[in-house]
Amino acid sequence: MSLVITRSRSFVLQSNETLLEGLERTGHCVEYQCRSGYCGSCRTRINSGEVEYLSDPLAYIAQGEILPCCCVPVGTVSLDVGTEREYEQDAGELHAQSELGL
């Protein structure tokens, strides 16, 4: 059983899902295209913990990044991922700041 901690939520990954599928099921916003480790679209920052790849990914990832479409956590992981609502709030705050010239 793996616990996934994100910016504002936590959930347990189900045994039959990838990390990307678990993030989608719980309302998180993650870009994706191939869902197979080729394109790199799902590249995500990992704050702590480790993941195991189901097959070796071909997309480039830097240290501190993972491809959630093709991995599962090994134990508890903390990710820099938010929900769509959180990203909308962030965008709204940035827009308000730019309107004020900040």
Does 39 help bind ligand FES (rule: CB under 6 A)? yes
In the list 24, 35, 49, 83, the residue contacting ligand FES (rule: CB under 6 A) is 35
Q: How far is the CB of 101 from ligand FES (least distance, A)?
A: 38
Nearer to ligand FES, 52 or 93 (CB): 52
Tell me the three state secondary structure of residue 46. strand
Where does the chain show beta strands of DSSP type E?
2-5, 10-13, 44-53, 65-66, 71-79
Does 40 help bind ligand FES (rule: CB under 6 A)? yes
Q: How far is the CB of 39 from ligand FES (least distance, A)?
A: 4
Residues that bind ligand FES (rule: CB under 6 A) add up to a total of 13
CB 100 within 8 A of CB 49: no
Using a 10 angstrom Cβ sphere, with 0-12 exposed, 13-18 middle and 19 or more buried, the burial of residue 26 is middle
Does 51 help bind ligand FES (rule: CB under 6 A)? no
For the chain, the residue count is: 102
Nearer to ligand FES, 37 or 82 (CB): 37
